[in-house]
Amino acid sequence: MDNGQTPGGNAPDPFFITGPALISFSGGRTSAYMLWRILQAHGGTLADDVHVTFANTGKEREETLRFVHECATRWNVVVHWLEFVQRTGQHWERFKAVGYNSADRIGTPFAKLISTKKMLPNPVMRFCTDELKIKVMRDFMRDRDYDRWTNVIGLRHDEPTRVARSLGRNVLGKERWRTACPLDAAKITNRDVRAFWAAQDFDLQLLPFEGNCDACFLKARPKLFEVERTAPGTLQWWADQEAAKGSTFRSEYGYAEVIDAVRRQPDMFAGGLFDDDPEMDAECGTWCGEAA
Ligand code: SF4
């Protein structure tokens, strides 16, 4: 079965991408590594119909924004910074193009989404990824008059379930794009990605659990605790959204409760940071979504 693992037909190098294509750069180490490999496969310059995008939720860490900017600058590649504007209207009205300096840093796109949906996302209804990232990238491609394209995402060979789920959608054919996972096709694992970054003279200045939205509700509670302990105030935006909606992102606890716990017992979770939250292994925006 052709599951989309060979973008560009029979090209032997999975990192050689034939357009039209969108390369989804999440701002994490894995998708950055994928971008670097793709650039290498193309002699450093992508075809005009191969676009690299970064969808900013407004709740990215400053380190992530700097990393995206640094990759683009050092590797001389255009990265389109995009932000959600609204859910309705024509596709060109639903997102806007920004840049490193003008990117929102106060959660505006995310808050707008919550306000239009009139509810908070949660681990079961994770519409933030879909609306703030996947559909924004889709609208960007439609705005460039592409009807069909290849979506190149940074899922590794050690993420077989996510790869199977993403490539399975190619068979269903419900979306405007076919997904390609060159890292999986090239059998790249997390170990390879870590080795690559260890050999570079720049890197993302965050621990793995600190990536994606700063206090994403998919992060396990001890990690949220650590985020607030090391960067006090980070959880406040999330607590404010909960207070405004009178509900919580997770059924088990609210962010105000975590903030309070940090204030009362800052050493409570010492050594407990590595509880399972496998969702956070993946870079957000790479592997889920039902946008059509
Ligand atoms: S990182 Fe978390 S909060 Fe942010 S868009 Fe992704 S799932 Fe939603």
> What pLDDT, in 10s, does the model give residues 146-171?
999 999 999 999 999 999 999 999 99
Residue 28 CA to residue 206 CA, distance in Å, equals 9
Ligand 1 centre to CA of 41 (Å) is 31
Measuring CA to CA, which residue among 24, 282, 5 is closest to residue 134?
24
Radius of gyration (Cα) for the chain, nearest Å? Answer: 19
> Which residue's alpha carbon is nearest to atom 3 within ligand 1?
216
Q: Would you state the pLDDT for residue 272?
A: 52
Nearest CA to ligand 1 atom 7: 129
Residue 163 exposure: Cα atoms within 13 Å on the Cβ side: 20
User: What's the gap in Å between 192 CA and the centre of ligand 1?
Assistant: 25
Helices (H), the chain: 29-41, 62-75, 108-117, 127-129, 135-143, 160-172, 182-185, 190-198, 221-230, 236-245, 255-264
pLDDT in the model for residue 10: 56
Structure tokens at 223: 């990690």
State the amino acid at position 135 in one-letter form. Answer: K
86 and 191 housed in the same domain: yes
Partnered with residue 213 across adjacent β-strands are 60
Residues 240 and 195 in one domain: no
Q: What letters, b where the CB count within 10 A reaches 16 and e where it falls short, cover 133-171? A: bbbbbbbbbbbeebeebbbbbbbbbbbeebbeebbebbe
C-alpha distances in Å from residue 45, one per residue of 49, 72, 243: 11, 12, 47
**Does the pLDDT of residue 72 top 90, yes or no?**
yes
Last residue of a domain, one of 149, 176, 206: 206
List CB contacts of 111: < 8 A, sequence separation 6 or more.
Answer: 58, 241
Distance CA 161, CA 287 (A): 10
* Range 125-144 average pLDDT: 96
Sheet holding 95-98, edge to edge: 95-98, 79-84, 50-56, 21-24, 149-152, 177-180
Do 261 and 224 belong together in one domain?
yes
pLDDT over 70 (residue 289): no
Q: pLDDT tens digits, residue range 109-121?
A: 999 999 999 999 9
Q: Answer whether residue 5 is part of any domain.
A: no
Whether the predicted pLDDT of 4 surpasses 70: no
User: Which of the 8 DSSP states describes residue 97?
Assistant: E
Distance CA 250, CA 254 (A): 7
**Distance from C-alpha of 216 to C-alpha of 249, rounded to nearest angstrom:** 9
Same domain, 56 and 112: yes
Strands (E), 2-92: 21-24, 50-56, 79-84
The domain that holds 80 is classified in CATH as 3.40.50
**Greater confidence, 290 or 128?**
128
Note whether residue 226 is domain-resident: yes
- What are the pLDDT digits (tens) for 250-285? 999 999 999 999 999 877 765 555 544 444 546 786
pLDDT (average), residues 52-57: 98
- Over range 68-93, report the average pLDDT: 97
Residue 1, in any domain of the structure: no
pLDDT of residue 7: 47
The CA distances from residue 118 to 25, 129, 244, in Å, are 29, 16, 10
The answer to whether residue 282 is domain-embedded is no
| Last residue of one domain, picked from the residues 179, 206, 233 | 206
Give the domain-ending residue among 206, 228, 251. Answer: 206
Domain count, the chain: 2
φ, ψ at 21 (rounded to 5°): -150, 155
* Residue 114 in domain: yes
Domain range enclosing 232:
220-276
Whether 118 and 228 map to the same domain: the answer is no
Q: Which of 218, 235, 283 to mutate to test the pocket of ligand 1 (most atoms within 8 A of CB)?
A: 218
Mutate to test the pocket of ligand 1, among 120, 213, 217 (most ligand atoms within 8 A of CB): 213
Write out pLDDT tens, residues 221-257: 999 999 999 999 999 999 999 999 999 999 999 999 9
Same domain, 89 and 229: no
Q: From CA 195, how far away is CA 268, in angstroms rounded? A: 33
Q: Is 45 in the same domain as 137? A: yes
Q: Is residue 122 part of a domain?
A: yes
Is there a domain that residue 52 lies in?
yes
Shared-domain flag, residues 46 and 150: yes
Q: Which of 82, 128, 248 is the pocket-test mutation for ligand 1 (most atoms within 8 Å of CB)?
A: 128
Across the chain, mean pLDDT equals 90
241 and 145 inside one domain: no
Give residue ranges with CB within 6 A of ligand 1. 57, 121, 126, 128-129, 132, 212-213, 216-218, 284
30/126 same-domain check: yes
What's the pLDDT score for residue 267?
A: 76
pLDDT at 284: 83
Distance 288 CA to ligand 1 centre (A): 11
Same domain, 192 and 239: no
Block residue for tokens 């269903």: 172
On whether residue 79 sits in a domain, the answer given is yes
Compute the average pLDDT of residues 60-77. 98
- Note whether 199 and 268 are same-domain residues: no
